[in-house]
Amino acid sequence: QLQLVESGGGVVQPGRSLRLSCAASGFTFTKYSFHWVRQAPGKGLEWVAVISSDGRTKYFADSVRGRFTISRDDSQNTLYLQMNSLRAEDTAVYYCAGQIATGYWGQGTLVTVSS
């Protein structure tokens, strides 16, 4: 059964770091690019980052560039988002999603940045 399962969310103080994981199963992970998308409480969707199927190409939203890093471990079928220098405005549910046309989305993990 096709699944994307995020983990690693929680409460973190401003300025600290957090790493999110997204475990994939039920499909060929290496075929696809993957995205991170976030949604602040009560707000709309915001695209965060993408990594290509070969891991060589990465793009980021202006709001996170230089602070967040996206990576993948094809041996573990896992996508990561390393978030550094966290700010209150990074508080959101973070979703991992497969290449757009696949429609593969996880259920999200909540990150709360607060002192």
Partner 1 sequence: EIVLTQSPGTLSLSPGERATLSCRASQSVSSSALAWYQQKPGQAPRLLISGASTRATGIPDRFSGSGSGTDFTLTISRLEPEDFAVFYCQQYGTSPYTFGQGTKLEIK
What are the residues binding partner 1 (CB under 8 A)? Answer: 35, 37, 44-47, 50, 59-62, 95, 100-103, 105-108
CB 9 within 8 A of CB 91: no
d(CA 72, CA 52): 9
How many C-beta atoms lie closer than 10 Å to residue 6's C-beta? 22
- In this complex, which beta carbon is closest to partner 1, that of residue 11 or of residue 45? 45
Taking the complex as a whole, the smallest distance from the CB of residue 75 to partner 1 amounts, in Å, to 26
Taking the complex as a whole, the smallest distance from the CB of residue 105 to partner 1 amounts, in Å, to 4
Find tokens 């965060």 and name the residue.
Answer: 48
- In this complex, which beta carbon is closest to partner 1, that of residue 5 or of residue 13? 5
Taking the complex as a whole, the smallest distance from the CB of residue 54 to partner 1 amounts, in Å, to 17
How many C-beta atoms lie closer than 10 Å to residue 80's C-beta? 20
- In this complex, which beta carbon is closest to partner 1, that of residue 8 or of residue 59? 59
Phi and psi torsions of 90, nearest 5°: -85, -5
Residue 38 half-sphere exposure, CB side, CA atoms within 13 Å? Answer: 22
Taking the complex as a whole, the smallest distance from the CB of residue 40 to partner 1 amounts, in Å, to 12
